[in-house]
């Protein structure tokens, strides 16, 4: 797997993904002397030797999965302990990384790597009678079972929110709903996303940012605040990026509401419409707003009516056409709906009503 950094949560997450893919845990894993797992202990002589102390996070992870760790001797002394690992790394680099893969995201890149790895199952190493996949099927039975729950591969810390309802981690600031924020929250930084918790409740989840001094906003987090200060709507930083990608119908709806209620009520009405994004997906919201504009019901109730109408239409089972119904077993139904209308019956009703 490829990761954005070499932080410990990335290192442990790679283990977790490997264990799940393999369907079990090796009894023993051999490591080089990487700082995310171990620290060398300097002996009284001042020379570095075999004694080591595992980093606390890695030790807790290893106890959770009950495998044995083995660390090679540092430097050239440990070269003979690695077997064919170094040559395997060279082979993998040449096969998987040359030319440099073209990927849109880390998820895309890791899917490409997985596909290439699975192809290796059919390869036969020189002087071996089995393919890699066949040999693996024999070894799979020797794995330790997975525990019932996963280890939390994240960096966890308590943070104090800024006045702008943001939690700061590694210089980056992540938004929290302004109407639900507490003074202190728990932040969990996973390799690819960040979660912000209030005790047992997730307040917010964001894609993790590995740049520096960045603001990571969810515009929905600030709508309750803007409802009280509609004059700040056009200048709110959390909304600017979202507003730039709005469908044209959103701007049409906002313009009509401003024209109808220029005193700020129109913006409040539009904010209430945007709050519906907390319950409905963006494509459905876009469809409902376009439909409301078509109907001329340019307000919150109109959009809610269109949402209900769209949902009811989607949930209604498709009815078969009458000509497609098989009525061979019921010939008595053949004339129903096709007989001529007898207006004399209506004349009888009219006479009775006099």
For 205, the 3-state DSSP assignment is: strand
pLDDT value of residue 276 = 96
Domain boundaries, the chain: 8-140, 155-216, 222-315
Q: How far apart are CA 219 and CA 237, in angstroms?
A: 9
pLDDT score of 143? 96
| pLDDT tens for each residue of 220-229 | 999 999 999 9
Q: How far apart are CA 15 and CA 193, in angstroms?
A: 17
Quick one: pLDDT band at residue 318, thresholds 50, 70, 90? low
Looking at residue 173, what is its pLDDT? 97
What local confidence, expressed as pLDDT, does residue 179 receive? 84
C-alpha–C-alpha distance, residues 269 and 275, integer Å: 10
How high does pLDDT run on average in the chain? 88
**pTM assigned to the model:** 0.79
List the single range of 88-97, 204-213, 217-226 with lowest mean pLDDT. Answer: 88-97
Q: Which pLDDT score, from 0 to 100, does residue 76 have?
A: 57
**What is the C-alpha end-to-end distance of the chain, expressed in Å?**
87
Does residue 324 register a pLDDT over 80? no
Cα 18–Cα 5–Cα 95 angle in degrees, nearest 5: 60
């Amino acid at each position: 797997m490829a990761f954005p950094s070499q932080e410990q949560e990335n290192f442990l997450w790679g283990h977790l993904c490997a264990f799940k893919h393999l369907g079990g845990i090796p009894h023993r894993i051999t490591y080089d002397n990487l700082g995310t797992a171990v620290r060398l202990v300097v002996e009284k002589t001042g020379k570095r030797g075999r004694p080591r102390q595992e980093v606390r996070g890695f030790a807790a992870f290893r106890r959770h999965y009950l495998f044995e760790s083995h660390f090679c001797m540092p430097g050239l002394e440990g070269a003979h302990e690695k077997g064919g690992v170094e040559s395997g790394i060279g082979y993998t680099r040449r096969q998987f990384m040359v030319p440099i893969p073209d990927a849109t995201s880390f998820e895309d890149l890791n899917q490409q790597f997985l596909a290439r790895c699975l192809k290796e199952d059919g390869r036969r190493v020189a002087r071996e009678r089995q393919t890699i996949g066949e040999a693996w099927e024999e070894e799979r039975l020797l794995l330790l079972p997975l525990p019932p729950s996963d280890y939390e591969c994240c960096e966890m810390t308590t943070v104090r929110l800024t006045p702008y309802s943001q939690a700061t981690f590694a210089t980056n600031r992540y938004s929290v709903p302004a109407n639900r924020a507490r003074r202190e929250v728990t932040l969990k930084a996973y390799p690819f996303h960040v979660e912000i918790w209030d005790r047992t409740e997730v307040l917010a989840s964001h894609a993790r940012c590995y740049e520096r001094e960045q603001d990571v906003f969810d515009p929905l987090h600030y709508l309750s605040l803007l409802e009280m200060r509609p004059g700040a709507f056009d200048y709110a930083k959390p909304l600017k990026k979202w507003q730039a990608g709005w469908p044209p119908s959103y701007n049409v709806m906002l313009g009509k509401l401003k024209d109808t209620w220029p005193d700020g009520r129109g913006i409040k009405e539009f904010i209430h419409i945007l709050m519906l994004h907390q319950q409905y997906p963006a494509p459905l919201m876009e469809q409902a707003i376009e439909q409301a504009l078509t109907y001329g019901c340019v307000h919150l109730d109109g959009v809610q009516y269109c949402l209900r109408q769209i949902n009811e239409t989607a949930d209604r089972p498709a009815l078969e056409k009458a000509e497609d119904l098989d009525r061979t077993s019921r010939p008595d139904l053949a004339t129903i709906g096709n007989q001529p209308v007898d207006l004399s019956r209506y004349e009888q009703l009219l006479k009775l009503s006099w």
